[in-house]
């Protein structure tokens, strides 16, 4: 049996540019499409949240520690969305706000844990394999 530790990877500058541009372009396109729905209120925030979340999932599958940073940004955007919705009296918004706070706390733990694992991989010389 092999080593059961996850081999955490880190971004190169090229990875950073590709993911950043993908999120921006995807958010603009999806945001525009969502504005075509008459009842959609926070189209570009929803679009940004969804694009960042999708990129985060892909990066997690590829074992990049930066996926946790993307999810942290996504959680902050979600909190803003649910705060705005709660202020406007949206149904279920308080519960979703509490769920978003829970996700944020889990996400902060993930950022810390994966950064420690990346540092350990760097020490062992296993990064970006």
- How far lies 57's CA from each of 36, 61, 129, in Å? 27, 6, 19
Average pLDDT, the chain: 88
pLDDT digit string, tens, across residues 41-62: 899 999 999 999 999 999 989 8
- CA 69 from centroid of its chain's CA atoms: 6
Q: Of 83, 122, 117, 125, give the one whose Cα is nearest residue 100.
A: 83
Q: How far apart are CA 31 and CA 27, in angstroms?
A: 6
**For residues 25 and 117, which has the higher predicted lDDT (pLDDT)?**
25
- pTM as predicted: 0.81
pLDDT digit string, tens, across residues 70-87: 999 999 999 999 999 999
101 pLDDT more than 90: yes
- How far lies 107's CA from each of 56, 61, 104, in Å? 12, 16, 5
């Amino acid at each position: 049996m092999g080593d059961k530790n996850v081999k955490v990877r880190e971004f190169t500058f090229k990875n950073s540019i590709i993911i950043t541009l993908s999120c921006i372009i995807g958010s603009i396109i999806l945001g525009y499409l969502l504005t075509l729905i008459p009842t959609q209120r926070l189209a570009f925030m929803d679009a940004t949240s969804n694009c960042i979340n999708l990129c985060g999932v892909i990066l997690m599958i590829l074992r990049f520690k930066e996926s946790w940073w993307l999810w942290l940004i996504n959680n902050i955007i979600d909190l803003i969305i649910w705060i705005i919705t709660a202020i406007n009296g949206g149904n279920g918004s308080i519960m979703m706000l509490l769920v978003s706070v829970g996700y944020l706390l889990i996400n902060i733990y993930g950022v810390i844990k994966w950064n420690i694992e990346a540092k350990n991989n760097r020490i062992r010389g296993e990064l970006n394999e």
